[in-house]
Structure 1
Amino acid sequence: MWLFNKTPNLDFMSRRRWAGLASLIMLSLAVAIIAVRGLNFGIDFTGGTIVEVGFQESVDLSEVRRTMDEGGYEEAVVQHFGTARDVMIRLGPRDEEDADALSNRVLDTLEERFPEVELRRVEFVGPQVGEELTEQGALAMLGALGCILLYVAFRFEYRFAAGSVAALVHDITLVVGILSLFQITFDLTVLAALLAVIGYSLNDTIVVFDRIRENFLRMRKGSTEEVMNASINQTLSRTLVTSFTTLLVVLSLYFVGGEVISGFAFTLLLGVLVGTYSSIFVASASALAMGVTKYDLQPPAKEGEDQEEEGEGARP
């Protein structure tokens, strides 16, 4: 297979306009979905109460949900926590009662159907704390993008920096749009996954940019598009193998890790897929669209070098 034996020769840059059109359509749909459906913020951001209970034997979550619905807690989110005998119940903010009274009522409701149930832990998150987490989470995202812009601009060239940030914004917008579409609970674990997606996508982009810079110095006669195509093809095997092995881990987390980290794993799964696409098509194509050429990364000629080359060329 070419993936392991030789470097492919795929013309990615000739398809950049079609890829750009597809990305623009997907981004427009993602923004529209976010605007219409919004995000399903978890208790970490909205405030509320978390009640952890334990059972002597494995319990069916559908039975627990039915019991909570009959007790007047239709909005409760019920998940396994750790084992099939441990259950986490998330409740939205209720102004009429405090966390202790609410947990006692939840326990009384469950004891009518499950007499052996035990209360393990109660955690309350106030609305003010939720608002602060929302603000700090947004600032963390913007701060990460700003630091990446400065880092890539310092290491490469400002048009490469803009291309890398364009790829990251593309990835985050698409992932958040899909989370909004399926109403995945957006909590601190999902926010952590988004920051991990930023790091993963940036790493892929930096690998491609490093090879582009090397080839700009080596391939003196090739056009900018040819240099970028060659660089993407040379790093394609590494990109695909890294994405494949990462997907294996993320899929294991998603299917085996339980509902507690399902949102985290699902976000990472989307991020790996979208990040692989953007590192090939979006980042390099954005830098090319802004007019970067191989002369922007070549070191300046030493004084008298041109005259020496001309003198050597004039010799018989």
Structure 2
Amino acid sequence: MPNIIGKRKLFLSISGALIALSLLSLAVFGLKSGIDFSAGSLLTVAFDTTPSLADLKSELGALGHGNAIVQETGSEDFIIRLGVLSDAEKNSLEDGLEAAFGPLTERGFEMVDPIIASQTSRTAMIAVGLASIGILAYLTYAFRRMPKPLHYGVGAVAAVLHDVLAVLGIFAALAALLGLEINLVFIIGILAVIGYSVNNTVVVYDRIRENTLRGGGSFESIVNRSVVETFIRSLNTSFTTIIVVLALMLFVGATIQNLALVMFIGIVVGTYDSLFVAPAILVIWDNYDKSRLAPRASRAGA
């Protein structure tokens, strides 16, 4: 039987490096707030004769919107992120674009003021925080018949934080290259990653619980056997989910691009975490408790 848990130092070192790089990526690139989290306007347009992205950006600069962020969708629409526009400014912008590139069709227009953006940011952070607290409470209760139920709850939350930090760091680097912004769809993706991470971790933890109740060996050997028994199942589940996410990335377009990208990163990182990191946390914590209690037992025996 492969000794996966025996190599936990290697796997934890990889995770540590990934988290360090993610934090560095966030510090260097940061996450650019989309319209949902900062005041601004979002205009989606389509032209009868589609201009190049470079020409559109150049014309926006000539019209006094040099800071506009432009994203091309798979259906040849353009999503243009601007500052807050009045009706007159919006009409003037569309007239200028029509004069340069011919007739256009407005597919959509959204505007968010600073107060709503601030409320959205606060609500998003609360949602992630409440999700973590709920996971800790639920798993501690679900594993209450185990000797150390809190270990399972804390292990799952640690796995979730690991996955979220990794996703944020990788997304920040990709967003800098692709010109992506975070929005509510991005937050939905983060919450989906949290749910997926917990689901994968619980599958492994539940097998550890079953094998622990049956007995047969040290806790480390039981955890290792449980990981090996759930290994193929976890890989198969993740692979089939990735196929769906890739289909969304390739064929649905920019409207859910953030969701698909976050989900893809989260599934890959979450699968690694649930198999190699979350179970190792239980073993490390259990070994620490034993080493801490051993001197007390020796003194009591003496």
TM range (shorter): 0.7 to 0.9
Give the Cα separation in 2 of the matches to 1:226 and 1:101: 70
Among candidates 164, 175, 181, match of residue 172 of structure 1: 164
Instruction: State the partner residue of 2:210.
Output: 214
1:22 Cα offset (Å): 1.8
Q: Deviations over 1:176-231 (max 9, x none)?
A: 0112223331111111000000001110011111111111122x231111111111
Residue 286 of structure 2 aligns to a residue in which SS? Answer: coil
Aligned pair 1:196/2:187, yes or no?
no
Instruction: State the partner residue of 1:246.
Output: 241
Instruction: State the partner residue of 1:6.
Output: none
Q: Write the letter of the residue equivalent to 2:286.
A: G
Give the Cα separation in 2 of the matches to 1:115 and 1:35: 42
When the two structures are aligned, how many residues end up with a matched partner?
279
Structural mapping, 1:257-272, within 5 Å:
257-272=252-267
Give the Cα separation in 2 of the matches to 1:63 and 1:209: 55
Aligned pair 1:290/2:281, yes or no?
no
Aligned pair 1:117/2:117, yes or no?
no
Give the Cα separation in 2 of the matches to 1:82 and 1:255: 9
Give the Cα separation in 2 of the matches to 1:137 and 1:254: 24
Q: 1:39 to 1:180 in 2, by over 3 A?
A: same
Please say if residues 201 and 275 of structure 1, whose CA atoms lie closer than 8 Å, have aligned partners that are also in contact.
Answer: yes
1:81 Cα offset (Å): 5.3
Residue 169 of structure 2 aligns to a residue in which SS? Answer: helix
Instruction: State the partner residue of 2:294.
Output: none
Q: Deviations over 1:97-149 (max 9, x none)?
A: x4312311220221122221133433210111111111110110011010000
Residue 271 of structure 1 aligns to a residue in which SS? Answer: helix
Give the Cα separation in 1 of the matches to 2:74 and 2:89: 23
Please say if residues 80 and 260 of structure 1, whose CA atoms lie closer than 8 Å, have aligned partners that are also in contact.
Answer: no
Please say if residues 99 and 122 of structure 1, whose CA atoms lie closer than 8 Å, have aligned partners that are also in contact.
Answer: no
Instruction: State the partner residue of 2:82.
Output: 91
Residue 48 of structure 2 aligns to a residue in which SS? Answer: coil
Q: Write the letter of the residue equivalent to 1:89.
A: I
Q: 1:120 to 1:235 in 2, by over 3 A?
A: closer
Please say if residues 166 and 282 of structure 1, whose CA atoms lie closer than 8 Å, have aligned partners that are also in contact.
Answer: no
Q: 1:20 to 1:49 in 2, by over 3 A?
A: same
Structural mapping, 1:18-167, within 5 Å:
18-80=10-72, 83-84=75-76, 86-93=77-84, 98-156=85-143, 157-167=149-159
Give the Cα separation in 2 of the matches to 1:19 and 1:236: 15
Q: Write the letter of the residue equivalent to 1:256.
A: F
Which is worse superposed, 43-52 or 163-172? Answer: 43-52
Please say if residues 40 and 185 of structure 1, whose CA atoms lie closer than 8 Å, have aligned partners that are also in contact.
Answer: yes
Please say if residues 46 and 107 of structure 2, whose CA atoms lie closer than 8 Å, have aligned partners that are also in contact.
Answer: yes
Instruction: State the partner residue of 2:299.
Output: none
1:57 Cα offset (Å): 4.9
1:292 Cα offset (Å): 7.4
**Unaligned 5+ runs, structure 2:** 144-148, 289-302
Please say if residues 74 and 254 of structure 2, whose CA atoms lie closer than 8 Å, have aligned partners that are also in contact.
Answer: no
Q: Write the letter of the residue equivalent to 1:221.
A: G
Please say if residues 80 and 258 of structure 1, whose CA atoms lie closer than 8 Å, have aligned partners that are also in contact.
Answer: no
Which is worse superposed, 264-273 or 57-66? Answer: 57-66
TM-score, scaled relative to structure 2: 0.86
Instruction: State the partner residue of 1:181.
Output: 173
TM-score, scaled relative to structure 1: 0.83
Instruction: State the partner residue of 1:281.
Output: 276
Please say if residues 49 and 125 of structure 1, whose CA atoms lie closer than 8 Å, have aligned partners that are also in contact.
Answer: yes
Give the Cα separation in 1 of the matches to 2:86 and 2:279: 52
Residue 186 of structure 1 aligns to a residue in which SS? Answer: coil
Q: 1:10 to 1:104 in 2, by over 3 A?
A: same
1:249 Cα offset (Å): 0.9
**Unaligned 5+ runs, structure 1:** 1-8, 294-316
Give the Cα separation in 2 of the matches to 1:282 and 1:185: 30
Instruction: State the partner residue of 1:302.
Output: none
Q: Write the letter of the residue equivalent to 2:131.
A: A
Please say if residues 99 and 123 of structure 1, whose CA atoms lie closer than 8 Å, have aligned partners that are also in contact.
Answer: no
Q: Percent identity?
A: 36
Please say if residues 79 and 260 of structure 1, whose CA atoms lie closer than 8 Å, have aligned partners that are also in contact.
Answer: no
1:58 Cα offset (Å): 4.9
